[in-house]
Chains A and B, each alone.
Chain A
Amino acid sequence: MIQIRRVFTHLEEIRHEFGPVADVPLLRGAIGAVLTNPFAGRYEPDILPMMDALQDVGLDMAQRLLKAMSVPAERIETYGKGAIVGAAGELEHGALWHVPGGYAMRELLGWKGDRNAYAKGQAEEKTGQPANALSIVPSTKKVGGPGAALDVPLTHINASYVRSHFDAIEVRVPGAPSADEIVFILAMTTGPRIHARVGGLKAADISQWNGLR
């Protein structure tokens, strides 16, 4: 069911955007795995087995991305995920990425939750800071042709409302996806927008540890 045709990594080291030069550059990274879409060209009612099969793909991609970024997991402050489905597939095939893509990065970054509850979409009650990677992993998906660009949303790993960390990274793999392919994407960064200054909840003020604030 799983055939990985191609793996594409993208790193950005941002020193400034015409404002003060950062002491430590912001690092943003994304990885795209180009997979054969086993459901291309037909309507398949039961696609859930692919979600399970993608778990290992997600974990491998998350580890590869972190390695490509050459930073310890503790420095990752935002994440996001996405999928681009080739023309012979349907949007729902991209939705298969929700659990394996999100889970992979959250486990890598220190999430201690219940994997089975997560797969069922069940929330958990927490008090204090129970771990890292508490936030839902923001996502987007589309059906697109070769070289289609996807703006992958990014939010803070512990509190979705941290305003300085709302961001997005454009990801595209030249030449993919062809009609029978899907590009699954993970993205992570080491910090807020390079010149963040529009107020709102700060990362230092996270207090509820519920993944939101």
Chain B
Amino acid sequence: MPAKIRKIIVQTDEVRVEMGRDVQPPVRKALAMAVIENPCAGRYVENLDELIAIGEELGGLLGARCVQALGIEPGQAQSYGKAAIVGEAGELEHAAAILHPKLGAPLRVAVEKGAALVPSSKKMGGLGTAIDVPLGHKDAAYVRSHFDAMEARVADAPRANEIVVAVVVTDSGRPLPRVGGLTVSEIKGVDGLR
């Protein structure tokens, strides 16, 4: 069963000036969210394959929406993250089913490569609940300039029987990174860590 999507929200955030200093080029993040019906709401369901399949579908859809919103080629994507907010008639494990088994593979296709783990967060919530989607570099998780987050929130979701699924893709790191650590130029991109 394909995901029953009620609405899709796409946001972009472009920072040009931080603390009075020009950010050149501007740092840009895109967030895509789908508000879906939770097919397992209201009862205990042992087998979560249906949600796992929905995760696979949304990984591709939301990843592509982010790349499109940034107006970049997939290979220009630099960091990513994912998250889900489960409405109160669901359970936290539903978010895990969507996010962890199969969402990553099509997302990695959408951003080309993606050797690193996709950082994630999940929670139960009501209408307008905000979740901070963690971000990390897509090819090397230890790149310190790209540790970041983007706040995701839908004013009228999730209803009790809904789930908000969020994916963030960026073409840059934090605006003025200067706390050292592994840099983009040092990425080997083999093991997903460095």
Contacts and interface: CB of A to CB of B under 8 A. Distances in A.
Interface in A9-23: 9-18
B11 A14 contact: no
A8 B8 contact: no
Contacts of B8: 12-13, 15
A3 interface: yes
A176 to B, nearest CB: 10
Nearest to A18: B6
Task: For chain B, give the interface size range.
Answer: 20 to 34
Scoring A8, A14, A16, A174 by chain B CB atoms within 10 A of each residue's CB, the highest score goes to A174
Nearest to A70: B68
B11 A9 contact: yes
A11 B33 CA distance: 10
Interface stretch (B14-22, B44-52, B72-80): B14-22
Interface string A189-208: 00000000000000000000
A7 B11 CA distance: 10
A129 to B, nearest CB: 32
Contact of A4 (B6, B17, B150, B153): B17
Contact of B11 (A3, A10, A36): A10
Given A15-B5, A170-B155, A8 B12 contact: yes
A5 B130 CA distance: 23
Scoring B16, B69, B130 by chain A CB atoms within 10 A of each residue's CB, the highest score goes to B16
Given A5-B15, A5-B18, A6-B16, A15 B6 contact: yes
B7 interface: yes
Contacts of A15: 5-8
Scoring A4, A11, A147, A170 by chain B CB atoms within 10 A of each residue's CB, the highest score goes to A11
Given A11-B10, A13-B7, A14-B6, A68 B69 contact: yes
Interface in B106-132: 130
A5 B6 contact: no
A8 B7 contact: no
B160 to A, nearest CB: 12
A11 B9 contact: yes
B9 A6 contact: no
B69 A6 contact: no
Contacts of A7: 12-14, 16
Contacts of A36: 17
Interface in B83-102: none
Interface of A: 3-18, 25, 36, 68, 147, 149, 170, 172-175
Given A5-B17, A174-B13, A174-B151, 8 more contacts: A6-B13, A7-B16, A9-B11, A11-B9, A13-B8, A18-B6, A68-B69, A173-B13
Lowest 4 CB-CB distances: which A-B pairs, in order?
A174-B151, A5-B17, A13-B8, A170-B155
